[in-house]
Structure formats: structure tokens, C-alpha cells
């Protein structure tokens, strides 16, 4: 693709490095920015610069934060006795958006995946064990994906916590509301049957 300006080409190249952004979408973003007032581009540049220079990881849960301790961990209204273990920040956002969880989190930074070279010591598992050893934690809620990696990670953590006076639970897995049984995979359907609950009418 030929561009009328080297600067436009550089901007397109930069945008096209983003996941899911092809060169046509990158060109649309570039042309959009060119049509906007100069201060909008400056605000975008400042937001990106601040993102790289000011964002830190919470010293307690390893969530992304603006401060050494994130807002969730610092909150006096959150239940510090319940820790929801997740793989990454996207899981925290998804759970927070439900408005149903009032505990705190622990972000592992991934899942155990031997085929991809990710071992337990590369994740934030030891700091989770240290938090449990403090004696304040009553429940560990494993909110990990229903994959081989998620199950492996959950099993590993549960084994490491064996003997600790802490309850280990996991999020329910089953058929989605509005889902048809014929389209459910066998693993999901099997788990739904094994983890059945009383019918509430």
C-alpha cells in the first residue's frame, strides 16, 4: 500500500502492531486522528505515556494499579478473608463487572502450561501461599478457565494448600443461561450433571 506521507505510513505501522488491528483499520485510526483537534492526539499520547511510566503492580495481589497497593486491596469494605485467584487482569475486570464479589484477588500472571514452557515458579503462586500462611485468609476461590491449563493450575494450588486451615472453592461451571443442551460440549454438560443443584422452582 502506498501512502502520501512517510508520517502516515509510520503511524499505520505503529497501529497495525496492536492485536486485531490490520493495516486498513490502522489507516482508519490514523486518518481519524488527523481529523481531530491537536489536543485530542496529545491526550492520547499522554495517556499511552502515563500507562507505560506510571502503572505498577499491587504489592499484595499483583493486580495492575496506580498505587503500590491497589484500590481493591486498600478498600475497607472488601472481605480480606476471601481471595479470588485469577490468571490475569481481564479476569478481575470480568468478575468486578458482575458486582457479585466482595472479596479480594490474587493475579497469578498466567496459568501453568508445560507445553508452552510456563512452570509454577514463573507464576505468582508463592506469594499466594504466603498470604494464606498469614492466617487471615479463610477461603480461596479458584476462578480459572475451564481448560487443561486452568485445571492443572487449580490442582497444583490445591495440593500446595493441603493441610492449611482454608476452604478451597471454585466457580461453578455448567450450561450458560439461554444455552441449548445439544450445542454444549461433553465436558461442560458432564460437569453440569456432576455439579447439579436443587431445583428452586
Domain residue extents for the chain = 6-54, 64-170
Q: Is the pLDDT of residue 143 over 70?
A: yes
Q: Is the pLDDT of residue 181 over 90?
A: no
pLDDT in tens, 88-118: 999 999 999 989 999 999 999 999 998 899 9
Query: Mean pLDDT for the chain?
Result: 90
CATH of domain 64-170: 3.40.1360.10
Q: What is the structure's pLDDT at 195?
A: 75
pLDDT in tens, 1-43: 677 889 999 999 999 999 999 999 999 999 999 998 889 889 9
- The span from the CA of 29 to the CA of 41, in Å, is 11
The predicted model scores a pTM of 0.80
Q: What is the structure's pLDDT at 199?
A: 63
CB 132 within 8 A of CB 161: yes
CATH of domain 6-54: 1.10.8.420
Amino acid at each position: 500500500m502506498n501512502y502520501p506521507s512517510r508520517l502516515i505510513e509510520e503511524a499505520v505501522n505503529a497501529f497495525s502492531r496492536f492485536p486485531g488491528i490490520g493495516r486498513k483499520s490502522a489507516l482508519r485510526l490514523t486518518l481519524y486522528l488527523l481529523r481531530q483537534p491537536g489536543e485530542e492526539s496529545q491526550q492520547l499520547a499522554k495517556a499511552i505515556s502515563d500507562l507505560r511510566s506510571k502503572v505498577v503492580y499491587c504489592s499484595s495481589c499483583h493486580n495492575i494499579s496506580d498505587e503500590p497497593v491497589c484500590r481493591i486491596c486498600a478498600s475497607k469494605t472488601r472481605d480480606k478473608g476471601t481471595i479470588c485467584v485469577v490468571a490475569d487482569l481481564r479476569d478481575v475486570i470480568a468478575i468486578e463487572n458482575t458486582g457479585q464479589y466482595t472479596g479480594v484477588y490474587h493475579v497469578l500472571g498466567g496459568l501453568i502450561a508445560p507445553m508452552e514452557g510456563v512452570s509454577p515458579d514463573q507464576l505468582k503462586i508463592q506469594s499466594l501461599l504466603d498470604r494464606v500462611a498469614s492466617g487471615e485468609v479463610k477461603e480461596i476461590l479458584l476462578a480459572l478457565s475451564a481448560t487443561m491449563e486452568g485445571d492443572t493450575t487449580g490442582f497444583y494450588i490445591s495440593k500446595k494448600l493441603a493441610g492449611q486451615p482454608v476452604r478451597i472453592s471454585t466457580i461453578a461451571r455448567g450450561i450458560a443461561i439461554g444455552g441449548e443442551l445439544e450445542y454444549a460440549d461433553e465436558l461442560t454438560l458432564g460437569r453440569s450433571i456432576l455439579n447439579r443443584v436443587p431445583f428452586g422452582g
